[in-house]
Amino acid sequence: MRTLTALLSLLLAIVPHLSANNGQNDEESSVTSGWNGSHAFIQSTDGNFEVGFGGRVHLDFRAYSADFTPDPTFVLRRARLEIDGTLYKFFEFKVQPEFTDEGSTLLRDGYINIHPKDSIQVTAGQFKAPFS
């Protein structure tokens, strides 16, 4: 947790220096939104910022037709909201909580990935390690 806090602090210290307009006018740095076929997104036209929204819900319904059976039930098995994005093309993040526990929320994925080059990446947080 301390590592993630340190990385977020570093990101917050770097972002104001990167956010200078670099000679661009406001029309070139506008925001667009839409649907890319799999999830909703908001992004800047220059490609420096992108945030995607998604999620999943799994439901379970049980009904019986015989006599002396339990009542029909409807259960919310899984409900996850996902927010992921890119900042300045070098910082990626993802947050995916699960809301099916009563009284608490589990964090399934929550990480930040810093990659100044494709061959150099540092990822910190809670995530499922890639397997191939």
Handedness of CA 35, 39, 41, 47 (dihedral sign): negative
Q: pTM higher than 0.95 for the full model?
A: no
Residue 96 has pLDDT above 70, yes or no: yes
For 4-39, how does the pLDDT look when each residue is reduced to its tens digit (9 = 90+)? 455 556 555 555 544 444 555 555 558 888 888 888
The residue that leads in pLDDT, 115 or 7, is 115
Q: According to the model, what pLDDT value does residue 114 have?
A: 92
For 35-77, how does the pLDDT look when each residue is reduced to its tens digit (9 = 90+)? 888 888 899 888 889 999 999 899 999 888 877 778 888 888 8
Residue 94 has pLDDT above 90, yes or no: yes
pLDDT band at 1 (very low <50, low <70, confident <90, very high): very low
SS3 11: helix
Q: According to the model, what pLDDT value does residue 9 have?
A: 60
Q: According to the model, what pLDDT value does residue 36 have?
A: 85
Residues 6+ apart with CB under 8 A from 57: 76, 78, 79, 80
